[in-house]
Structure 1
Amino acid sequence: MKTMSDRGTARAASISSPNVVSPFGESQSQRKPPRELPSVHLYTPSADPSGMGVHMLCLAEEYARQGRRVTLMYWANANAERLFAPAGENGVRLARIPHPRDPQFAARIADDLRDNPSDVFHLHVGTGRENWDGARAASLSGVPAIVQTLHLPWLIRDHRKRGAVHASLEPVDRVITVSRWQRASYEKMGVAPQRMVTVPNGVHPRTWAPGRSAARRELGLGPDQPVVITVGRLTVMKGHRYLVDAVPLLLRRFPDLVVVIVGEGHLRSALEEQAERLGVAHAVRFVGHRADARGLLDAADVFVLPSRHEGMPLAALEAMDAGLPVVGTRVIGTSEAVADGISGRLVPPGRPAALAVALDELLSEPALRRRMAAAGRQRFEELFTADRMARRTAEVYDDVLARSAAAVAR
């Protein structure tokens, strides 16, 4: 496998020299005025971008606001379209391409980059196994900088599956991870540390909040009921079944408790059946996907995230922004977002009893909730804003482009 420097030197020498015409039909010096901010293609092959897509939207909106040329490229399935299409009204160019298995997949990427060239092709994937050679197609098209963000940790035990990740990284100049322990998981599976940089996730602060009374009316909740809320896809990794298992324990102390579960997914029926079987269906509200999910956080006393694993959970960051204490699991990502004992509580994953104890403590102590909520809000503002994430990501772009230019100059 070529090293990052080998790939960058070879490709830079072939397309970036001032005396060489690029595949776009013009020299590198002609393509971009000296002071113009680097342009970027943000791309994902995901069938359900979800939090990864929100990350991409934050980058796209920040960069478009700065005056960069930004293209949001995606496989035009229903989930991606619902998430990304509105960005077209905010100065972001949209590029819809076929499914990665489509024979025209690579050609469509190449065509788009030829007609709308960018300085940076920034690919977003979960673990990298689903890359489908998007980075390679961009590299063959002569994009000066290839960057890839991995949004999930490497927890796959089958060593045979590592090869796909290493192959996908061959054309990549720099790998971004979204948390430190996530990065460590890729170092352990063989990705060279010098190829990676960690840029924690960030989200935009809320621009609108309905307030506690209005949010509770929207959900049909009483003004004095204890309310716990979680937001996320109903998938195995999010650990909702452990939360439902904790509800009977909580109802002993808080008989009018309501646990609000915001999100959709293939496990919804199973989770509803679990709540019925435990006799707690009256206390668990499945409200489905909600475009106003961040506003609904105002209805809650505590936010809970019972995940089995994460990369860096946007839902926890949004809860901190909304002024909620967070009860999460001590897993990659969440353990870096939540300061245990300061902005919330961390418990072992897969332990309903421990989850119930932590939620019981916060529901019982309003003063503790307020202190942790204030600490979480401050932590969000210092570490996890979208503009901070965008700024640090742009620094990665600049570094890769500078190294490429230096390689040409040698």
Structure 2
Amino acid sequence: MSVRVLQVLGRSAGGIARHVALLVRELDGHDDFEVDAAGPADTPVVMPKPVHDIVIPDGPLIGHRKAIAELRRTIAEGNYEVVHAHGLRAGVDAALAARTEGVTVLLTCHNLLRPDVSGGIKARLYRWAEPLAVRLTSRTFAVSKDMTEHLRRASGSAADRVETLYLGVGDPPLRMADAPAVRAELGAGESPLIVTASRLSAQKSVDVMLSAVARLPDNVCLAILGRGPAESELREHADSLGIGQRVRWLGWRDDAADVIAAGNVFCLSSVWEGIPLAVQEAMLLGTPVVGTRVGGMPEIVEDRVGGRLVPKNDPERLAEALLEVLESPQTAKRYAAHARERLLEVFSTELMLATLKDAYLDAARAA
């Protein structure tokens, strides 16, 4: 008999959705697993099979009752034996939905909840949600050691349920577009090209990246893959810095890997992170990475060995690191080669899948 697993995700900028798509693609119909996904139908990633259209609200209060009811119905009608939730909000809703069905829920924590919220009722609700999600689920995978330590501290007696699981990103596309053709389409030509891929939100601090680009030579271009609530404000910021003509706002594209591979450097300026899948994808594609020293980033990018890391909210230091990579193709090549080697060794897709298969089997037996 196959083990039926339901992957549950909330609204994702792409990273979590790409991870869930990989799990469905690699596990469904293989090794006695049947794997489906539940989440918003308008996810920016093409899933290998249709998704149960359920929206997990972004906020801490409104709309969760409906999501829980829809998840409960989906779990019951699909005879799922294991639910694997992605993200803390999805974890809480999935656990409450599965409780009445006697189904075991696993959780992958890809990111922490709003570390920028420092006070008030919203901050208390977010701080309450982290340990609640861990306690309601039978096993929690955190994507970095930094996040594991945080969740263990927050979870008290349930701390032993939290473990680190480095995520793999699968194989690069079999067919990649010609890099010069991609650069020509973007209007970059022979100019240095910086690429980023992220949700355009406060967390990603793209305004700092724009300020860094404004400090670079006038021929440097920036391609931004992604959308989000801060997009219009960021466009205005780019114009105010006088670099509007140097920025390419690409939204979400199916050929994101081609764009990343065509770049001279991949940049991420976040104020907090787990271990971003976009960074892993850049490393896999051989594009050197410059990012901020936050969250799990030091676990994947070794500064001055496999890329560059700088303090958050420091456009001057970010510009210096970007210029170092852009001005020295030899340094860029060395960083990229080391990063790819480390990625394949430590962030193994095969090891991740083997761990999850064992976890699903254990969860199914425990149900």
TM-score where L is the length of structure 2: 0.88
Opposite residue 169 of structure 2, the aligned amino acid is V
Opposite residue 21 of structure 2, the aligned amino acid is L
What RMSD in Å do the two structures reach over aligned CA positions? 2.3
Alignment correspondent of 2:60: none
Q: 1:138 aligns with which of 72, 93, 98?
A: 98
Opposite residue 213 of structure 2, the aligned amino acid is V
Deviation of the 1:140 alpha carbon: 1.4
Deviation of the 1:131 alpha carbon: 4.5
Equivalence map 1:203-242=2 (5 Å): 203-207=169-173, 208-222=175-189, 224-242=190-208
Equivalence map 1:61-80=2 (5 Å): 61-67=25-31, 68-76=33-41, 78=42, 80=43
Equivalence map 1:44-63=2 (5 Å): 44=9, 46-48=10-12, 50-63=14-27
1:42 maps to 2:3: no
Would the alpha carbon gap of residues 164 and 287 (structure 1) be closer, same or farther in structure 2, given more than 3 Å must change? Answer: closer
Alpha-carbon distance in structure 1 between the residues aligned to 2:64 and 2:279: 36
1:340 maps to 2:299: no
Aligned 8 A contact 1:151 1:177 in 2: yes
Aligned 8 A contact 1:211 1:298 in 2: no
Alignment correspondent of 2:107: 148
Equivalence map 1:138-177=2 (5 Å): 138-143=98-103, 145-153=104-112, 155=115, 157-158=118-119, 160-161=124-125, 162-177=127-142
Alpha-carbon distance in structure 2 between the residues aligned to 1:87 and 1:66: 14
Alignment correspondent of 2:72: 110
Alpha-carbon distance in structure 1 between the residues aligned to 2:128 and 2:298: 29
1:283 maps to 2:246: yes
Alpha-carbon distance in structure 1 between the residues aligned to 2:215 and 2:66: 54
Opposite residue 205 of structure 2, the aligned amino acid is G
Q: 2:48 aligns with which of 87, 91, 107?
A: 87
Deviation of the 1:167 alpha carbon: 3.4
Opposite residue 320 of structure 1, the aligned amino acid is M
Aligned 8 A contact 1:179 1:199 in 2: yes
| Deviation sequence 1:148-185 (CA, Å, 0-9, x none) | 11111353545632333333444311111111101112
Deviation of the 1:200 alpha carbon: 1.3
Alignment correspondent of 2:319: 356
Say which SS state the counterpart of residue 170 (structure 2) adopts: coil
Alpha-carbon distance in structure 1 between the residues aligned to 2:135 and 2:287: 42
Alpha-carbon distance in structure 2 between the residues aligned to 1:179 and 1:275: 33
Say which SS state the counterpart of residue 141 (structure 2) adopts: strand
1:331 maps to 2:294: yes
Say which SS state the counterpart of residue 193 (structure 1) adopts: helix
Alignment correspondent of 2:230: 267
Aligned 8 A contact 1:233 1:265 in 2: yes
Query: Which ranges of structure 1 fall in alignment gaps of 5 or more residues?
Result: 1-31, 406-410
Aligned 8 A contact 2:140 2:163 in 1: yes
Alpha-carbon distance in structure 1 between the residues aligned to 2:76 and 2:258: 41
Would the alpha carbon gap of residues 275 and 106 (structure 1) be closer, same or farther in structure 2, given more than 3 Å must change? Answer: closer
| Aligned residue pairs, count | 353
Aligned 8 A contact 1:199 1:393 in 2: no
Structure 1 residues 133-142 or 379-388, which shifts more?
379-388
Say which SS state the counterpart of residue 302 (structure 2) adopts: coil
Equivalence map 1:170-209=2 (5 Å): 170-191=135-156, 192-207=158-173, 208-209=175-176
Alpha-carbon distance in structure 1 between the residues aligned to 2:234 and 2:93: 36
Would the alpha carbon gap of residues 49 and 232 (structure 1) be closer, same or farther in structure 2, given more than 3 Å must change? Answer: closer
Deviation of the 1:297 alpha carbon: 1.6
Opposite residue 123 of structure 1, the aligned amino acid is A
Query: Which ranges of structure 2 fall in alignment gaps of 5 or more residues?
Result: 58-62
Structure 1 residues 294-303 or 184-193, which shifts more?
184-193
Deviation of the 1:103 alpha carbon: 5.7
Larger radius of gyration: 1
Alpha-carbon distance in structure 2 between the residues aligned to 1:49 and 1:351: 24
Alignment correspondent of 2:281: 318
Aligned 8 A contact 2:144 2:164 in 1: yes
Percent sequence identity over matched residues? Answer: 31
Deviation of the 1:211 alpha carbon: 3.0
